[in-house]
A and B are shown apart, each in its own frame.
Chain A
Amino acid sequence: MRRVVITGIGVISPVGTGRDTFWSALLAGKSGIGPVTAFDSTNYAAHIGAEVRDFDPAHYVKKQQPAHMGRASQLAIGAARLAIQDSGLDLRSVESRRIGVSMGTTSGEPLFVEHYNDARKQSGDDAVDPEWMGLYPCHVIPTHVANEFGLHGPSIMIPTACAAGNYAIGYAHDLIRTGRADAMLAGGADAFSRIPYMGFARLGAIAPERCQPFDKNRKGMVPGEGSGMLVLEPLDSATARGAKIYAEVLGYGVSCDAHHMTAAHPQADGAIRAMSAAMKDSGVGIGDIDYISAHGTGTPTNDRIESLAVRTLFAEYAPKVPMSSIKSMLGHTMGAASAIEAAACALALDTGWIPPTINHEEADPDCGLDVVPNRSRQTHPKIVLNNAYAFGGNNASLCLGRYE
């Protein structure tokens, strides 16, 4: 089976657009969280969000009409364009049927549901623009990406909510390693929407001011938006064209809690099995893991259960593995989150630096791990694990390695 490497990184995020801006913001501990501007949050129980504020779709969407697609599609095309440019891959050099798109999302294109309800509230069903129905289903996001770049290979959306980016990157890696594709664009996208915001606010899950994963006084998560897309290629063709290789995708593992739709399993059953499966798939052991990119949403329960998972699985080795949450800076970019975090993992492997968990004031003894508080650290990691957990009990861990 073929080895699969990451040769291009495209990120559009609340802390900035483009690989370098994104990475320097993370290493500097910059936060992308601010007041909600996408809608009027006056009547909501929370008022902060992690929005992408510097995004001009027309700058990225060239072949199609940006007005005739949703914001998640626009963000995905943007991140995909950046990733392709970054990779230096000449798309014409690969047979179009051998390049595809694998993506994840939580909400797909929820703004069309918002438009639909706004129109119905205003003037009834007749005011509904039929185009919205065609542009809502989430498979249109990878289809829009494929159409924009003329890619005719496998195109698939795996909407496993907040773990979706890992599922999508993992599957793209499967398609390449089994020879079903010769290059893949893989990642995730979500657009800021009142629908998840309303739900998280109603659950009391949104922090009032900032996101403090693993802190004793953490008060919740912060909904966000963005897109992270990676170019994945077989190792042999990447080296043959002299491509820059950020990292190797070693493997991944998925599991289901089958316990509760929104609450994590109390003994972290699924989270532990996803990490174990990822390491088994990758042929590595707990002693090989140099860094964990945490799911780390900042909610009291998530961080406690994720820490429990790591402590249980890594046992006496657990305190030695640095584990940070970049959601402290980016907020929770939903289906894009684990894709953006995978980009950060690849950059950590490439640069030798690991990003911090910011806003960390008081360690929570219930977590009890090294969360890389407040300052990035140069540790030269060789093998890293990227955790992601989702509604529906869907868990996915992705394992990346430094290519040497």
Chain B
Amino acid sequence: MTPRVVVTGAGVCSPLGAGVEEFANALWSGKSAIVPSTRFPGSTIAEFGEFNPTPWLGNKGVRVLDRGTRFLCVAAQIALSSTCLVQDAASEGDADLGLVCGTLFGGVHSIAMFDWSGLMEGPSMVSPMEFPNTVINAPAGQAAIKHKLRGVNSTICAGLASGLHAIQYAADFLRFGRARYLMAGGMEEVCDEAALGFRKLGIASPTGQAHPFGADRDGTVAGEGSALWMLETEETARGRGIKPWFEICGFGTATDARPEGAAAAIEQALQETGVGPGEIGCIVAGANGSPADAIEARALRCVFGERLARIPASAPKAAIGETMGASGAFSAITAGLALQRQEAPPTAGFAATDSGLQLSSKSQPFEGEYALIDAFSCEGNNAALVIRLWKN
């Protein structure tokens, strides 16, 4: 029989709150991390201003880590301590402990800065210390060194669905017995290049707000941070006396920019779980305030029909912005917290929608064991995940 994969810990490094409780409390109180940017004047961004990782990471070896990698290392530190897997500094680290990190831009800023210094000062003047940060897997590789993670180390890029793909990838690796413990989720930083892209490609909301599924939506707001789950098999968790939080039940994906693509991913996830739409207690959606939210709404209506209006739903990007490659992981963390509390969190600033979803600016109680997370992008990278409160 295929081993069951469970969630036994989590780490969050978000401008909304660093730490799972901090993040949850802010999200449930309806707060938003979207602020006028101190780094990019004239833009609103869900950002940390100056981010100081030393409370979590100390001072040693932090200087070489770029911004996004610091978020990732902090989230990993929190996740490891949440489930008693912090590696002794004097040890060589665990060869069965690893990390699967989703991202969209990765360390593009480090890459652009490296190239820029070669362009301005000459190719022989670039810093050999900066070169390692120019590979897309640098954040995950740096986190492995920092936290002594000698097991599976992968970086996963699938657009806005990267975080969910990373969770699924890790779950499959655990099922195959290729690792005992895997942190999985995503990381993203808002850098010059991402901010410029959001502004110039017309993704950024001209009014500086993110209203997912909102009738008044006009674009989104970039966000940053890192979110990770700790995954292991139920057997491993039982063996070390850890009570699982959730089970990873089903996953679906489709590469298709039409609403049928998003719907197919959701249907696949339900089918793999072995439940019908009626058993989903809560939905955490990927909508970010862009016009394309309509496509996701159509996909959800197509799968859930009239029932959609009665399932409490939440769109956390209203509070944390579009965290891109990390967004699926933030949604997954949110869905897990919602199951624990039996309450879907508020969608910050929500007023009205024509989407057919049951959204609210207040938290919404529900009864149910299963939550659906979906990630969608208009390029066609769709993914969906179903999780369940742990039950023997």
Q: Would B118 and A270 count as touching, CB distance under 8 A?
A: no
Task: List chain B residues, Cβ under 8 A from A154.
Answer: 253, 255
Q: Which residues of A contact B115 (CB under 8 A)?
A: 110, 113-114, 117, 194-195, 198
| Inter-chain contact B136/A195, CB cutoff 8 Å | no
Q: At the interface with chain B, which of A3-11, A199-207, A323-331?
A: A199-207
- Binary per-residue interface labels of chain A (228-262) against chain B in the complex, 1 for a CB within 8 Å, 0 otherwise: 00000000000000000000000001111111111
A131 to nearest B CB, angstroms?
A: 8
A147 at the interface (CB under 8 A from B): yes
CB–CB B156/A157 < 8 A: yes
Decide yes or no whether B235 CB sits under 8 A from chain A: no
| Best-buried of A108, A131, A174, A261 by chain B (most CB within 10 Å) | A261
| Residues in B whose Cβ lies below 8 Å from that of A140 | 379
Interface contacts beyond A146-B380, A391-B137: sample of 19 additional A-B pairs, CB < 8 Å, sorted by A: A105-B136, A117-B112, A121-B119, A128-B196, A137-B159, A138-B136, A154-B253, A160-B137, A160-B154, A198-B118, A199-B131, A199-B134, A254-B178, A256-B141, A256-B153, A258-B150, A259-B145, A393-B141, A393-B144
1/0 per residue A165-203: CB within 8 Å of B? Answer: 001000100100010000000000000001110110111
Binary contact track B267-286/A, C-beta < 8 Å → 1, others 0? 00000000000000000000
Asked if A97 meets B254 with Cβ closer than 8 Å, knowing A130-B200, A139-B162, A256-B98, the reply is yes
- Distance, CA A159 to CA B136, complexed state (A): 6
Looking at the assembled complex, report how far the CB atom of B161 sits from the nearest CB atom of chain A, in whole angstroms.
Answer: 9
A113 to B255, CA, bound (A): 26
Please name all residues of chain B whose beta carbon is closer than 8 Å to the beta carbon of A257 when the two chains form the complex: 144, 150
Given A134-B201, A143-B159, A155-B158, A392-B172 contact (CB < 8 Å): no
Q: How far is the CA of A121 from the CA of B93 in the complex (A)?
A: 44
A sample of 27 inter-chain contacts (CB < 8 A) reads A116-B112, A116-B193, A118-B119, A130-B201, A133-B197, A134-B197, A137-B106, A137-B159, A139-B104, A139-B381, A143-B159, A146-B380, A152-B264, A155-B253, A155-B255, A159-B137, A178-B172, A254-B153, A255-B152, A255-B153, A257-B150, A258-B150, A262-B132, A277-B178, A392-B141, A393-B144, A394-B153
- Does the CB pair B201–A196 fall under 8 Å? no
Known: A113-B112, A195-B111, A202-B123. A156 touches B157 (CB 8 A): yes
Size class of B's contact patch? 35 or more
Establish whether residues B95 and A255, one from each chain, have CB atoms under 8 Å apart when the complex forms: yes
**Residues of B that sit less than 8 Å from A by CB:** 93, 95, 98, 104-106, 108, 111-112, 114-116, 118-120, 122-124, 126-128, 131-138, 140-142, 144-145, 147-159, 162, 165, 169, 172, 176, 178, 193-194, 196-197, 200-201, 253-256, 261, 264, 379-381
**Which chain B residues lie closer than 8 Å to A118 at the CB level?**
119
**Count of interface residues, chain A, beta-carbon cutoff 8 Å:** 76
Residues of A within 8 A of B172 (CB): 174, 178
Centre residue among B95, B154, B176, B193 by max chain A CB count within 10 A: B154
Give the Cβ gap from A177 to chain B, nearest Cβ, in Å: 9
| Pairwise interchain contact A44-B124, C-beta atoms closer than 8 A | yes
Within 8 A of B (CB), among A20-74: 43-45
